[in-house]
Amino acid sequence: MAFDDSDYSRTGAALVIEMLADLSLADKLAVMTACTDSVAGVVPRDLDGAGALKFFDVTYEQGDRLTAIAARALPVVDSDGLWAIDARTFPAWVADRLHVTRARAHRLTRLGRALRDELPLTAHAVVSGGPGRVNTEVAEILVRTAATSAARRDALVDPASDSGEQFLLAQARTMPADEFRDFAR
């Protein structure tokens, strides 16, 4: 099965976006689940090489965006405190709920807090689609390297600084993640 870019119609997508605008959160999540179920039904081995590549690129980017969107909700869940009924710490609760390692749960909770409190440009870049987007791994690198002290957090907000968030994001968009990790340190 060949993948034709016209199948991924911007006009069709625009119509869906317009229809989704007025839906409740529950309805938006139901539509997202239905769309994901539909895409999960695609059999990659039935695609040609170009179609499989397009399928991979789009599904990977959307999954990564959704991870960042979900992480942004974690500080709100943490503040609510209901998680404390089931766990001693918030990352432990996240680990149990998602069936991930505690290390991954710590990274997700730290990412969510940093996107909310310290890295607003990164928050936008990681949830947005398209060419200016950075992935969650790059965002996590920024969390681990750029927002580690009061002085570094101050530098992040300075647009003229070579340690500023804007500068670091520009570099992240041009470097492989391993190279960016070394650069950001």
pLDDT value of residue 120? 94
Q: How confident is the model at residue 20 (pLDDT cuts 50, 70, 90)?
A: confident
Tell me the average pLDDT of the chain: 91
pLDDT at 6 over 80: no
pLDDT value of residue 116? 95
Higher pLDDT, 150 or 36: 36
pLDDT, one tens digit per residue, over 154-174 is 888 888 888 899 999 999 999
Residues 6+ apart with CB under 8 A from 135: 61, 64, 126, 177
Q: How confident is the model at residue 66 (pLDDT cuts 50, 70, 90)?
A: very high
pLDDT value of residue 40? 97
pLDDT value of residue 141? 95
pLDDT value of residue 7? 52
pLDDT, one tens digit per residue, over 26-45 is 999 999 999 999 999 999 99
pLDDT, one tens digit per residue, over 84-101 is 999 999 999 999 999 999
pLDDT value of residue 4? 56
pLDDT value of residue 39? 96
pLDDT value of residue 65? 97
pLDDT value of residue 126? 96
pLDDT value of residue 162? 84
Name the residue type at position 13: A
